[in-house]
Amino acid sequence: MKVGVVTFPGSNCDEDALLAIREHVHLEAVPLWHKDHDLQGVDVVILPGGFSYGDYLRAGAIARFAPIMQEIAAHAKRGGPVIGICNGFQIACEAGLLPGGLLRNDHLQFRSMPVTLRVESTATVFTREASAGALLTMPIAHGDGRYSADAATLDRLEGEGQVVFRYVDATGHPTSAANPNGSLRNIAGVSNASGTVVGLMPHPERALDPLLGSTDGLVLFRSLLALTKA
């Protein structure tokens, strides 16, 4: 299996994502260039974190028009797995690959800190190895992470099991104190209806090595291995 990581101008977690796949799940990983129309035959696409186009106008707004995004949309439509991390999540929402949008944090500041997530759905390509209700610790680092959608959409997402991660406290409760950015219903990550496209604000690729304090991000990438076996 082959994983592609897109580099947009301003991406800055692309290298981290490539290393995550190569060093921690031992799969082939290739960089994908935003100006290309070539997915190089990858099975999975990672939209990495960073500040594509400087986050000017709106985070992710300009990146979604990059040539490679046409191919990624087609790949997603075919049922190909895509994960958007942080800025990648913002891009995926802007591109309509995922519902909702990410607005400025409610406190108007950038936030860099570890958060606790509760796994809400294991029915996605990226969480099938996780157990429902499991608590995962990983860092966030963003200024525009307030997940928003209208109430009807939110209800639908909850109903269809498309809420994948929620910000919770150490005991697993989605309190407002545990919500680092004002996301509606403490939503940290969502998926498309089929569970093949997932977006989340926290950084699983920064939680893979005991030396860095947490290995809880591994489960997302390990879930991909099931694809190889299938």
Answer yes or no whether residue 88 interacts with another protein by CB under 8 A: no
What x/- string results for residues 44 through 63 when contact with another protein is judged by CB under 8 A? -----xxx-xxxxxxx-xx-
Considering only 36-44, 69-77, 120-128, 199-207, which stretch makes contact with another protein by CB under 8 A?
A: 199-207
Quote the CA–CA distance of 161 and 189 in Å, as a whole number.
11
User: Which CB atom, from 43 or from 114, has the smaller least distance to another protein?
Assistant: 114
47: three-class secondary structure by DSSP: strand
Please provide the DSSP assignment of 58-122 as one string. STTTTGGGSHHHHHHHHHHHTT--EEEETHHHHHHHHTTSSSSEEE--TTSS-EEEEEEEEE---
Stretch that binds another protein, among 9-17, 126-134, 171-179, 218-226 (CB under 8 A): 9-17
**Catalytic annotation, pick one of 34, 75, 142, 203:** 203
Instruction: Note whether 177 binds another protein by CB under 8 A.
Output: no
CA distance linking residue 17 with residue 32, whole number of Å? 12
9 binds another protein (CB under 8 A): yes
Type of residue at 85: I
Among candidate residues 71, 94, 120, 205, the one labeled active-site is 205
> Which position among 13, 34, 86, 94 bears the catalytic label?
86
